[in-house]
């Protein structure tokens, strides 16, 4: 078989081109540091690297969501701290209002002070997160989450509506595609769901069963002595007789005004029944009635403040009525302050969780970066060796071509 000169030329040039392309590819890998630049280089490694890049993108998106969540939670924690400071000022004013030497005008002055602090609290409850949302908007609201409307009253003067109401949706907005990060605080939980009374039951002054007026005595917040005996029923405590010979009778109103306990009463006597104890003090008279009912998670900050302001503005109250109103208002203020503190603690815990989540995200990102590098990055030692081999092959191809180039009839005749 004979090979034509043209065929040998073509084969030599093709070999030279292949060697040149291989050397250029090796040089490109050295320059970029990548073993896999396109899927055809190594389909399996390319798919592995793409999965790693996708995971890194998810981590980066979650990191941005985490940063936004941390900003919102930091602002919310600060707002709750400001709210507690204002509530403490209100409490101090209310303690001062209990001073028996204060006149009605002095209490009105304290009411004006509390009203100003109440309006500042409303501004805190409607504080924004700096990104168009509201810190206490819950799961979303079309406007400010807390709206203040005029108080409405019935013919007897009793309040039937109005005041500050939550217009948002309960719960919290979350974001993030790997973990969920909170972007808002449940405004209803923070501002409208404190436990009433002492958290287990709620005491109050009823009416005198004989005169229909307010009791001449007053009752404190009470305490639980045996949780196992607490029934959750509603009760009434009725004082019978006049000092110094008085008795008290406890009726279970849930069971239909059934008497469940009775004993002699003396001033400041502690009434005990159904695992509960409370003190009836002052100078109660025959027929004075006090109530005990289960606590509910429905105590609202602004309703408590509005009732406090109204009671401070009342004139002509007896010393007993002032004491009873102050006991109730202080009890409720302590309850809503405690709830705000609890929510603040929850926000602080969420901020701690964000720190832990950030650490996990960084670990996950490093892992995926290592996966991507292992799949597509070039081993420089191996890359240099490959380039040198390709360069040697290219040089050999050049020499071969130069020899083939001289294989012609004219070259033969010249020799």
Q: Which of 295, 317, 333 is the last residue of a domain?
A: 295
Euclidean distance between CA atoms 164 and 305, whole angstroms: 10
Contacts 24+ apart (CB under 8 A), 76-82: 76/135, 76/136, 76/184, 76/185, 76/347, 77/344, 77/347, 77/348, 77/351, 79/124, 79/127, 79/135, 79/136, 80/190, 80/340, 80/341, 80/343, 80/344, 80/347, 81/344, 82/124
144, 215: one domain: no
177, 221: one domain: no
Q: Which whole number is the average pLDDT over 69-87? A: 95
Residue 62 located in a structural domain: no
pLDDT at position 155 over 80? no
Residue 131 located in a structural domain: yes
* Among candidate residues 269, 360, 387, 398, the one with its CA nearest the CA of residue 32: 387
Residue 271 located in a structural domain: yes
pLDDT at position 1 over 50? no
List pLDDT tens digits, range 200-258. 999 999 999 999 898 999 999 999 999 999 999 999 999 999 888 899 999 999 999 99
185, 260: one domain: no
79, 185: one domain: yes
List pLDDT tens digits, range 225-239. 999 999 999 999 999
Residue 61 located in a structural domain: no
Residue 81 located in a structural domain: yes
148, 291: one domain: no
264, 305: one domain: no
List pLDDT tens digits, range 95-147. 998 888 889 999 999 999 999 999 999 999 999 988 888 999 988 777 889 99
Answer yes or no: are the C-beta atoms of 114 and 308 closer than 8 Å: yes
201, 189: one domain: no
258, 356: one domain: no
Range of the domain at 267: 197-295
- pTM, to two decimals: 0.78
Residue 214 located in a structural domain: yes
83, 192: one domain: yes
* DSSP string computed for 18-48: HHHHHHHHHHHHHHH-BS-SSGGG-HHHHHH
Q: How many domains does the chain have?
A: 3
261, 245: one domain: yes
């Amino acid at each position: 078989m004979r090979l034509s000169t043209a065929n040998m030329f073509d084969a030599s040039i093709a070999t030279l081109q292949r060697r040149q392309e291989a050397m250029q590819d090796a040089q490109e890998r050295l320059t970029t540091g990548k073993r896999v630049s396109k899927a055809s280089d190594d389909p399996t490694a390319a798919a592995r690297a793409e999965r790693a890049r996708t995971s890194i993108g998810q981590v980066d998106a979650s990191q941005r969501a985490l940063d936004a969540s941390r900003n919102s939670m930091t602002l919310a924690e600060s707002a709750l701290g400001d709210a507690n400071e204002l509530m403490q000022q209100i409490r101090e004013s209310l303690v001062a209002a209990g001073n028996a030497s204060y006149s009605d005008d002095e209490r009105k002055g304290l009411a004006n002070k509390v009203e100003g602090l109440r309006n500042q609290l409303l501004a805190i409850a409607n504080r924004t997160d700096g990104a168009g949302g509201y810190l206490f908007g819950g799961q979303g609201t079309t406007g400010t989450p807390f709206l203040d409307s005029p108080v409405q009253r019935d013919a007897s003067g009793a309040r039937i509506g109005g005041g500050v109401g939550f217009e948002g949706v309960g719960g919290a907005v979350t974001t993030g595609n790997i973990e969920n990060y909170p972007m808002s605080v449940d405004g209803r939980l923070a501002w409208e769901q404190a436990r009433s009374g002492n958290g287990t039951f709620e005491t109050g002054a009823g009416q005198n069963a004989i005169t229909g007026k307010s009791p001449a005595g007053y009752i404190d917040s009470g305490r639980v002595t045996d949780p196992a005996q607490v029934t959750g029923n509603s009760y009434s405590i009725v004082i019978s007789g006049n000092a110094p010979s008085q008795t008290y009778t406890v009726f279970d109103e849930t069971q239909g005004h059934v008497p469940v306990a009775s004993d002699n009463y003396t001033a400041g006597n502690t009434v005990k029944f159904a695992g509960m104890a409370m003190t009836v003090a002052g100078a109660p008279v025959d027929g004075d009635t006090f109530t005990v009912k289960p606590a509910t998670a429905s105590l609202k900050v602004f309703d408590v403040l509005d009732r406090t302001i109204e009671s401070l503005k009342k004139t002509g109250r007896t010393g007993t009525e002032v004491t009873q109103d102050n006991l109730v208002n202080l009890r409720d203020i302590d309850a809503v302050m405690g709830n705000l503190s609890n929510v603040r603690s929850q926000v602080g815990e969420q901020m701690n969780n964000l720190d832990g989540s950030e650490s996990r995200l960084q670990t996950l990102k490093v892992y995926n970066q290592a996966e991507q590098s292992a799949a597509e990055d070039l081993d420089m030692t191996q890359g240099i060796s490959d380039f040198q081999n390709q360069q040697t092959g290219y040089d050999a191809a050049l020499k071969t071509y130069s020899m083939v180039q001289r294989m012609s009839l004219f070259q033969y005749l010249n020799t």
